[in-house]
Structure 1
Amino acid sequence: MTGTRIAALGHYQPAKVLTNDDVAALVDTSDEWIRTRVGIKTRHIAGPDEPVDELAAQAGAKALAGAGLAPGEIDLVIVATSTAINRSPNMAARVAAKLGMGSPATMDVNVVCSGFTHALAVADHAVRAGSAGRALVIGADKMTEIADWTDRSSCVLMGDGAGAAVIEACAEDAIGPVLWGSVPGMGDAVRIEGTPPRFAQEGQSVYRWATTQLPPIARKVCEKAGVTPEELAAVVLHQANLRIIEPFAAKIGAVNAVIARDVVDSGNTSAASIPMALSKLVERREIPSGAPVLLFGFGGNLSYAGQVVRCP
């Protein structure tokens, strides 16, 4: 077997929902202001008893169940997160322990909002190289814990959650080649800094970069996968802002694709946004099995990573 595929997906969100009106009670904003600028209506908020590893483990367990696998059948766990609890043990090791795994390799990937597509590429490479048979890849973030609740331009964006995928070897290439990169000179346009750490960004700079520089890269991702944008069944971008997502899909020519708009109900969940949005589309059967789907993450470090995958 020389190819790889996504065998199953899973997602998890905390039960507590914060509406725009709830946010307006905390900071000077309004439902209209938030919807007009970013398209968000609600977001899910994790409580003190729901740390990042708990969110990740819940999503991972669902992905394993969907694949019909026992935890011991996974030999690589990668968690993409920028809101890890501690430097060590890492989130992947914590998740492996929570799920009762035997002795998998465990690592975290911190590429902020494009973390999941980076982690997916790493798992894809590991399985193709034969260093792992099956991998569990999770994007999980508790963004509300690092939000600056005095900054109305950023705190209105934040949500919590996790999404997971089981990657395994197969005879076909169901995960296309990754195209990834960054703009190091502008890396501080998105920051999580300080003690305690707080999220901040140069919103206009990120918006201009995402809307002007990334669509041509996304078209190259499709080219590397041997599909045209018109052939895409779905486009799942990092769920940052509806004003980025909808024009982006139009600019690359994905005229027949289902566009993931989970940002409306979940807010910006950073590394969790792509796997969570994809898992929901598959759960609702909005994408046919085997159909090509563009995954494209972008954000922190002004990094990006994209690949075309076949829907499980």
Structure 2
Amino acid sequence: MSSAPAYARLLSVGSYRPSRVLTNEAVAAHLEVNETWVHRRTGIRTRGVAGAEETLAYMGAQAANAATQRAGPGAGTVDCLIAASMTHQDPDASLARSIADLLPEPPRAALDVNAACAGFCVALELARCLIQGHTFNTVLVVGSERMRDIVADGDRATAPVFADGAGAVLLHGAPEPGIGAPAWGSDPAFRHLITRPDPIQDDGGPAMLQMQGPQVYRWVIDHLPDVAATALQRAGVDVRDLAAFIPHQSNDRIITALSVALDLPPHVTVARDITHSGNTAAASIPMAMDTLLHTRPDLSGKLALLLGYGAGITFAAQVVQLP
């Protein structure tokens, strides 16, 4: 039996943001509205759009490299890479393997997860289990998305919201718990709220995402406070013990409503990377974490509640000690 550490913790975080920035003015031009309408409904001012060369694998590798470089040589060899994405179009090729092969020292194990916008939190739990089960000691979790590929420019429900980008965290074995047990699951009775009728169209291109935004908002506010409370209970902490709340960056109005519903104390910092990054699905939480720690390095080592949710409807939440 292995004598490896019994727990897992986050060592570092990294992100990649596309070079092209899409403004509200440009989005509004396709929707016959003004940019004030876009900002009022979403809280977003700009969002990243990946170019042809900024593939899922490329962006994911850039984020992964940023995380590993930040961890330093003491992190050791990466044993496994888990990639979360809902926009990977090739069912025969692993995105995780493609990302891994772009790294200076590719890990031997690589696997994909698709739990839509909850994918990062789901992948994080898989990584925790792999480390605590002594299968691996160091795991990269990467979220990489090209959401603009599956969004119609003229769709008022999706075009103002979704964006591209990647984020990654590096996990390592630890003698003390650094990641709490999750509260996770799905609610298939509401899967019709976010759909892609057929992932591939007749012309070979991706089908467009369809979303019933107001109904998604109501589901989130009705159900996710209990999910968050369960995650806190399973981690053995109270909301007052938190230093930060990092939800999926879906919509600023949802983030605000969730913060109120959770009755967060004033000292808890709420991540709002959505303002300049948009909704990047499975990449949004690690991207938001990276931004938060860049602007608030004093939060390193403190507790944060992560909360992911999206198509399915899938959801996952856990408490982590920030890297």
TM-score by length of 2: 0.93
Residue type of the alignment partner of 1:288: L
Instruction: Return the alpha-carbon distance in structure 1 between the equivalents of residues 74 and 55 of structure 2.
Output: 24
- Determine if contact 1:71/1:101 at 8 Å carries over to the other structure: no
- For 1:52, the equivalent position in structure 2 comes to 56
Structure 2 residue 78 is matched with structure 1 residue 74: yes
Instruction: Return the alpha-carbon distance in structure 2 between the equivalents of residues 41 and 288 of structure 1.
Output: 25
- Determine if contact 1:175/1:308 at 8 Å carries over to the other structure: yes
The alpha-carbon deviation at position 69 of structure 1 amounts to 4.0
Instruction: Return the alpha-carbon distance in structure 2 between the equivalents of residues 64 and 252 of structure 1.
Output: 33
- Determine if contact 2:78/2:138 at 8 Å carries over to the other structure: yes
Instruction: Return the alpha-carbon distance in structure 2 between the equivalents of residues 287 and 144 of structure 1.
Output: 34
Instruction: Return the alpha-carbon distance in structure 2 between the equivalents of residues 210 and 258 of structure 1.
Output: 20
Which of the residues 237, 253, 257 maps onto 1:243? 253
Residue type of the alignment partner of 1:73: T
- For 2:153, the equivalent position in structure 1 comes to 149
3-state SS of the aligned residue for 2:129? helix
Over 3 Å counting, the alpha-carbon distance change for 1:217 and 1:111 in structure 2 is same
Q: What percent of counterpart residues are identical?
A: 36
Cα RMSD over matched residues? 1.5
The alpha-carbon deviation at position 310 of structure 1 amounts to 0.4
3-state SS of the aligned residue for 1:213? helix
Structure 2 residue 308 is matched with structure 1 residue 297: yes
> Which whole-Å deviations, capped at 9, do the CAs of 1:221-278 have from their partners, x for residues lacking one?
1111111112210000000011110121121122121000111111110000000000
Instruction: Return the alpha-carbon distance in structure 2 between the equivalents of residues 71 and 222 of structure 1.
Output: 28
Structure 2 residue 121 is matched with structure 1 residue 112: no
Q: Which segment drifts farther, 134-143 or 183-192?
A: 183-192
Structure 2 residue 221 is matched with structure 1 residue 211: yes
- Determine if contact 1:233/1:287 at 8 Å carries over to the other structure: no
Residue type of the alignment partner of 2:165: G
- Determine if contact 1:137/1:164 at 8 Å carries over to the other structure: yes
- Determine if contact 1:72/1:101 at 8 Å carries over to the other structure: no
Which of the residues 171, 176, 185 maps onto 2:175? 171
3-state SS of the aligned residue for 1:7? strand
- For this pair of structures, how many residues does the alignment match? 312
- For 2:284, the equivalent position in structure 1 comes to 273
**Unaligned 5+ runs, structure 2:** none
Q: Which segment drifts farther, 163-172 or 249-258?
A: 249-258
- For 2:275, the equivalent position in structure 1 comes to 264
Runs of 4+ in 1 over 6 A off after TM superposition: none
